[in-house]
């Protein structure tokens, strides 16, 4: 290859990615940096935003127990949602994987399809199902004899967790499904031929192999639940605030942008730390499986 062609080859990838790179620097990195800066600005009811550097907003978040409670609620809801999706989604993915071709693809479409349906429409569905004390869910649970008195779902964390788990379920099923595709069915048969029972097979053969899938699904579900907006806003109502709905309020109702920016920055930093940290842990623990 001539020197000129080689030089062209070295420049080509940069020429091709340059437009996208400029777009991302210009309208993603700069706005994000501006938001972090905004969180250090001052704000007053009458003076508006003052571009100074102070720690007022951060101090308010650190000292006012309201914010601690709100962040704790955000992460509690996200953790419960993650556990619920893992406990129900992992067995479902396993069952799905054992179905025959035709049924498998039909049910895969039914379970993954909701992922692409508007979150507002799906949450509206839950609001209708919960609807007050004589909602459909409560009627069903009571007639099945599972509960005696109606559980309040609307405007509670219980309702938030149930609706969020429904919204996030496809991510978990998908993630476990991907792990199951890498699994060699012959290992299961080998265990069977050596006299292992179904419970032993699930506990000793299947579980360890799909665990990376469950964990990476859990990371996705957790980070999306902790920053969810539509479902907590509709099911939680105006009183039960999570990080995303609080930031929305600060920006569009109270108009205290610097404080809202501080809440958003904290959410972003916390999520990045949690996601990167648990990713590193999982990769170290399951280095064998990811190879």
Partner 1 sequence: MRRNGPLALIFHTIFVIVMVAPILVVCLVAFTPEGFLSLPTNGFSLRWFRAIANYPEFIHAFWVSLGLGALSSFVALLFAVPAALAIARYRFRGRDALAALFLSPLMIPHVVLGIAFLRFFTSAGLSGSFAALIIAHVIIVFPFALRLTLAAATGMDLSVEMAAVSLGAGGWTLFRRVTLPLILPGVISGWALAFIQSFDDLTMTVFLAAPGTETLPVRMFLYIQDNIDPLVTSVSACVIAITMTALILLDRFYGLDRVLAGKGDTGR
Give, as ranges, the residues between 32 and 61 that touch partner 1 (CB under 8 A). 32, 34-35, 38
Stretches 60-68, 73-81, 206-214, 242-250: which one binds partner 1 (CB under 8 A)?
242-250
Q: Report the alpha-carbon distance of residue 61 to residue 261 in Å, rounded.
A: 11
Among the listed residues 199, 202, 222, the one whose alpha carbon sits nearest the alpha carbon of residue 210: 202
Q: Does 155 bind partner 1 (CB under 8 A)?
A: no
Q: Report the alpha-carbon distance of residue 38 to residue 50 in Å, rounded.
A: 9
Single out the residue of 58, 75, 155, 229 in contact with partner 1 (rule: CB under 8 A): 229
3-state secondary structure 47-69: CEEECCCCCHHHHHHHHCHHHHH
Minimum gap (Å) between residue 95 Cβ and partner 1: 5
Minimum gap (Å) between residue 59 Cβ and partner 1: 20
Single out the residue of 59, 98, 203, 285 in contact with partner 1 (rule: CB under 8 A): 98
Stretches 57-65, 78-86, 145-153, 253-261: which one binds partner 1 (CB under 8 A)?
253-261
Backbone angles phi, psi at 231, to 5 degrees: -65, -50
Minimum gap (Å) between residue 89 Cβ and partner 1: 9
Give the Cβ contact number of residue 78 at 10 Å.
Answer: 26
Minimum gap (Å) between residue 35 Cβ and partner 1: 4
Q: Which of residues 191-210 bind partner 1 (CB under 8 A)?
A: 192, 198
Minimum gap (Å) between residue 120 Cβ and partner 1: 5
Q: Report the alpha-carbon distance of residue 225 to residue 27 in Å, rounded.
A: 25
CA-derived radius of gyration, the chain: 24
Stretches 4-12, 70-78, 141-149, 208-216: which one binds partner 1 (CB under 8 A)?
4-12
Pick 73 or 166: Cβ nearer partner 1: 166
Q: Does 257 bind partner 1 (CB under 8 A)?
A: yes
Q: Which of residues 113-142 bind partner 1 (CB under 8 A)?
A: 113-129, 131, 136
The residue count for binding partner 1 (CB under 8 A) is 88
Q: Which of residues 60-89 bind partner 1 (CB under 8 A)?
A: 88
| Stated length of the chain | 291
Q: Does 96 bind partner 1 (CB under 8 A)?
A: yes
Q: Does 10 bind partner 1 (CB under 8 A)?
A: yes
């Amino acid at each position: 290859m001539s020197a000129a062609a080689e030089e062209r080859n070295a420049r080509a990838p940069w020429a091709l990615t340059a437009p996208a790179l400029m777009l991302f620097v210009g309208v993603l990195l700069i706005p994000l940096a501006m938001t972090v800066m905004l969180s250090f600005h001052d704000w007053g009811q009458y003076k508006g935003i003052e571009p100074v550097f102070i720690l007022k907003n951060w101090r308010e978040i650190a000292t006012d127990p309201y914010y601690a409670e709100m962040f704790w609620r955000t992460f509690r809801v996200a953790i419960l949602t993650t556990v619920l999706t893992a406990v129900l989604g992992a067995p479902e993915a396993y069952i799905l994987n054992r179905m025959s071709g035709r049924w498998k693809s039909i049910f895969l479409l039914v379970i993954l399809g909701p992922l692409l349906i508007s979150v507002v429409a799906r949450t509206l569905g839950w609001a209708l199902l919960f609807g007050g004390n004589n909602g459909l869910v409560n009627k069903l649970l009571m007639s099945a004899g599972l509960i005696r008195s109606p559980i309040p779902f609307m405007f509670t964390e219980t309702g938030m967790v149930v609706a969020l788990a429904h919204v996030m379920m496809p991510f978990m099923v998908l993630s476990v499904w991907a792990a199951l595709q890498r699994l060699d069915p012959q290992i299961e048969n080998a265990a069977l031929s050596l006299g292992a029972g179904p419970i032993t097979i699930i506990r000793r053969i299947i579980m360890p192999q799909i665990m990376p899938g469950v964990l990476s699904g859990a990371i996705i579900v957790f980070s999306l639940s902790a920053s969810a907006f539509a479902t907590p806003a509709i099911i939680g109502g105006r009183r039960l605030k999570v990080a995303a709905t609080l930031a929305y309020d600060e920006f569009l109702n109270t108009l205290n942008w610097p404080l809202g920016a501080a809440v958003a920055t904290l959410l972003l930093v916390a999520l990045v730390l949690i996601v990167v940290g648990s990713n590193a842990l999982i990769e170290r623990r399951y280095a064998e499986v990811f190879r």
